[in-house]
């Protein structure tokens, strides 16, 4: 399992722990613009606010930029947790593996830590549940895996890290922009991450919500850019967010983490942010809520020119990019064959670790109850005494032997 916290089958690494929390000193707040003409708020303003131009202007802004009740992000969290529980139930380690971790959990016990240190199911179960497998997508026409994979997780550690990040990032965005735009941003970004992952990783499976989460981070960045004129602490907030994104992408250079899903999700979310998260400028808001007797000498347009330009360019890039990626994927294109250095974007080999992510493969010999497995990856060999082992048990032992 690779990407979004995955590794070659079976899952073997922890998900990137994103902490895109903006510091208290860098919190982005709208800038108070020029105050409206005296008393221009009409009957909608309270008497106390009408005596205070700054408070009156803030009231106008709050009226237009109303807060949404965040219910969709919690629903996403519930869906992800439910899918993990269903996956663990189907995995049924006690009946399908030779040994399990936390066996007291019965059917919900975890695969051996050597097989899956994330405390989760086997790769076989994840593939059965809809993990991203590029070969199945291309050759067996299972395109639905591009979407289902973002609702699965390699282990409880993987799940907790992603859900914490989703709550921290998603709740604030849904409060600001509503469930429709943030829901679309999440799902489309997740699809973008799956597409780029499938184009580069052809021999591994991939699960996780990281592509969608990086899409929310990308949307936060483009939202700051497109609404630049209405925010305070612009430069500090921009630098803080860029550093957070850079750190999380850098962590994707570690082995067994699919940084292609992160990059694809981030780029999708970045351009989607220019489309979905655009705000009217304050001058237009001020005019809209000014008193009926107030006639502005020069009416303000709803959006600034640069916002409209970014909206058009981003929409074109998204349509062309997704179309091109889908065509290449279903034609069986492997981008690694056209880019000899691109694999370094997902893993940089060092003296401390290797980027070899070949799936575990073993040759077995049986003599009575004696099973001898030889790992094709590293040549290790070991003999086991098993009574009528299942294919899942043999696969689990092979994975442990090859690690």
pLDDT tens digits, one per residue of 30-71: 433 344 444 444 444 444 445 554 455 456 555 656 788 999
Architecture label for domain 51-292+299-345: Up-down Bundle (1.20)
Domain(s) labelled CATH 1.20.1540.10 in the chain stretch across 51-292+299-345
User: Pick the residue with more confidence: 339 or 396?
Assistant: 339
Contacts of the segment 35-43: beta carbons below 8 A, 24+ positions apart = 36/60, 36/286, 36/290, 36/294, 37/290, 37/294, 39/291, 40/290, 40/291, 40/294, 41/289, 41/290, 41/291, 42/289, 42/290, 42/291, 42/292
pLDDT in the model for residue 354: 59
Whole-number pLDDT of residue 73: 96
In this structure, the chain runs to a length of 403
Q: Which residues are catalytic?
A: 210, 262
d(CA 236, CA 243): 11
Decide if 268 contacts 191 (C-beta within 8 A). yes
Contacts of 27 (CB under 8 A, 6+ apart): 233, 237
Q: Report how far residue 380's alpha carbon sits from residue 377's, in angstroms, rounded to the nearest whole number.
A: 8
Per residue, the 3-state secondary structure of 135-177, as one string, reads: HHHHHCCCCCHHHHHHHCCCCHHHHHHHHHHHHHHHHHHHHHH
- C-alpha 346: how far from its chain's center? 15
pLDDT of 393 reads 73
| pLDDT (tens digit per residue) in 290-340 | 655 555 667 788 888 999 999 999 999 999 999 999 999 999 888 888 888
- The pLDDT value recorded for residue 116 is 84
- Evaluate whether 186 touches 124 at the Cβ level (below 8 Å): no
pLDDT category, 347, cuts 50, 70, 90? confident
pLDDT of 90: 95
Q: Among 13-17, 45-49, 54-58, 102-106, name the most confident range.
A: 102-106
Q: Give me the mean pLDDT over the 396-400 stretch.
A: 74
H/E stretch holding 118 reads none
Separation between Cα atoms, residue 309 and residue 70, nearest integer Å = 30
Residue 205 DSSP SS3: strand
Residue 350: pLDDT above 70? Answer: yes
pLDDT greater at residue 213 or residue 48:
213
pLDDT digit string, tens, across residues 137-175: 998 989 999 999 999 999 998 999 899 999 999 999 999
Q: What six digits make up the tokens of 95?
A: 């009946």
Pairwise CA distance, residues 179 & 376, whole Å: 49
* pLDDT tens per residue, range 222-236: 999 988 877 777 788
pLDDT per residue as tens digits for the range 280-290: 877 777 777 66
Q: What percent of the chain has pLDDT over 70?
A: 77
* Cα(234)–Cα(182) distance, integer angstroms: 23
Is the CB of residue 241 less than 8 Å from the CB of residue 22? yes
Q: Which residue has the higher pLDDT, 298 or 25?
A: 298
Q: Is the dihedral of CA 314, 316, 317, 321 positive or negative?
A: positive
């Amino acid at each position: 399992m690779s990407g979004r916290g995955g590794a070659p089958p079976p899952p073997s690494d922890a998900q990137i722990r994103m902490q895109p929390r903006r510091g208290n000193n860098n919190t982005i707040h709208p800038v108070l613009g020029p105050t409206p003409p005296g008393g221009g708020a009409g009957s909608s303003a309270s008497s106390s606010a009408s005596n205070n131009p700054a408070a009156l202007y803030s009231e106008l802004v709050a009226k237009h930029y109303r807060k949404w009740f965040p219910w969709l992000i919690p629903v996403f969290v519930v869906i992800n947790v439910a899918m993990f529980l269903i996956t663990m139930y189907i995995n049924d380690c006690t009946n399908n593996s030779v040994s399990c971790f936390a066996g007291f959990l019965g059917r919900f016990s975890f695969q051996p830590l050597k097989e899956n240190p994330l405390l989760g199911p086997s790769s076989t179960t994840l593939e059965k549940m809809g993990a991203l497998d590029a070969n199945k997508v291309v050759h067996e026409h299972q395109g639905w895996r591009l979407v289902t994979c973002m609702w699965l997780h390699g282990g409880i550690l993987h799940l907790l890290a992603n859900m914490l990040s989703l709550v921290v990032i998603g709740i604030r965005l849904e409060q600001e922009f509503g469930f429709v735009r943030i829901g679309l941003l999440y799902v489309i970004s997740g699809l973008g991450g799956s597409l780029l992952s499938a184009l580069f990783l052809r021999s591994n499976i991939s699960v996780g919500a990281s592509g969608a989460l990086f899409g929310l981070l990308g949307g936060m960045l483009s939202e700051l850019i497109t609404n630049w004129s209405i925010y305070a602490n612009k430069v500090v907030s921009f630098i803080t967010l860029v550093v957070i994104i850079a750190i999380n992408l850098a962590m994707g250079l570690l082995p067994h983490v699919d940084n292609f899903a992160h990059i694809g999700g981030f780029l999708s979310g970045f351009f989607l942010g220019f489309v979905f998260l655009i705000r009217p400028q304050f001058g237009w808001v001020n005019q809209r809520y000014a008193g009926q007797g107030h006639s502005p000498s020069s009416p303000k347009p709803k959006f600034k020119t640069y916002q409209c330009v970014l909206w058009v360019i981003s929409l074109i890039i998204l349509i062309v990019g997704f179309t091109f990626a889908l065509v290449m994927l279903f034609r069986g294109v492997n981008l690694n064959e056209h880019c000899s250095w691109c694999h370094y974007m997902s893993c940089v080999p060092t003296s401390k670790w290797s980027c070899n992510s070949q799936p575990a493969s073993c040759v077995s010999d049986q003599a009575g109850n004696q099973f001898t497995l030889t790992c094709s990856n590293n040549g290790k060999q070991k003999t086991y005494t098993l009574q009528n082992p299942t294919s899942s048990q043999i696969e689990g032992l092979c994975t442990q032997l090859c690690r």
